Amino acid sequence: MGSACIKVTKYFLFLFNLLFFVLGAVILGFGVWILADRSSFISVLQTSSTSLKAGAYVFIGVGGFTMLMGFLGCIGAVNEVRCLLGMYFAFLLLILIAQVTAGVLFYFNMGKLKQEMGSIVTKLIQNYTDGHEDSLQEAWDYVQAQVQCCGWVSFYNWTENAELMSRINITYPCSCENKSKEDNNSLLPQMGFCEAPVGNGTQSSNNPDDWPVYKEGCMEKVQAWLQENLGIILGVCVGIAVIELLGMLLSIFLCRHVHSEDYSKVPKY
């Protein structure tokens, strides 16, 4: 095997590992986003769902480990160190198996996540308290205002809130208010309960049919968001898997054609 071919192979392997390092950072960032997000329904779900929290920690661990392997792969490729190339191949194989297993488990647990989401939101709506500062309530207010929906299945879910239905005048969740597009651009939605202006007629009860709110529930829109982003996540994972396979092939090819081990090439710090 000519030295020129080996040089081309090792620099291709270096570029693949550099891209691999960047994609590992993307995976790590996705896990951090799940844990740190406080302004979407992900916050609502991860506060009460241990499975989503565990998944976020798995993403962080896999991302960090992937970045480490990309770094070692770069050193092994440029310096032609067989032990690093062999270790790199073995760890890539383990990561690939772990990613496939995690992807399959995540896909088949989507139904469970949807059920957990529905249960959490229903309980949140029932226990929602006007004027009470709570991160979970604020996150759900943000979801309803930005997604332009009300309740989980429909706005009638809010009739299960005893405090809201005890009001004499027409009172509704502020974040559900059906606003025009111009008025809906605010990043900070209204919190708590709002009382509708008194019209010409007299109102003797808080009838939900008179609420000026979005009529569509958030369930379908949240599920559509999950499906859309699941496709993006799976696409990223497939792309990373392809890069991993190419990296494994290049590393084993280079390892087989490095005739002697030279530890003096390993950088000393």
pLDDT at 173 > cutoff 90: yes
| Residue-level pLDDT at 268 | 47
C-alpha torsion sign, points 129, 135, 137, 142:
positive
pLDDT of 196-232, one tens digit each?
A: 876 544 555 788 998 999 999 988 887 777 777 767 7
Measure the CA–CA gap between 169 and 136, rounded to whole angstroms.
27
Of these ranges, 1-5, 107-111, 144-148, the one predicted with the greatest mean pLDDT is: 144-148
pLDDT at 3 > cutoff 70: no
* Mean pLDDT of all residues in 118-123: 86
Interhelix angle 219-256/135-147, nearest 10 degrees: 100
pLDDT at 117 > cutoff 80: no
Where does 109-202 have alpha helices with state H?
A: 110-127, 135-147, 162-165
Any residues with CB less than 8 A from the CB of 155 and at least 6 apart, and which? 176, 208, 211, 213, 214, 215, 217
| Residue-level pLDDT at 165 | 92
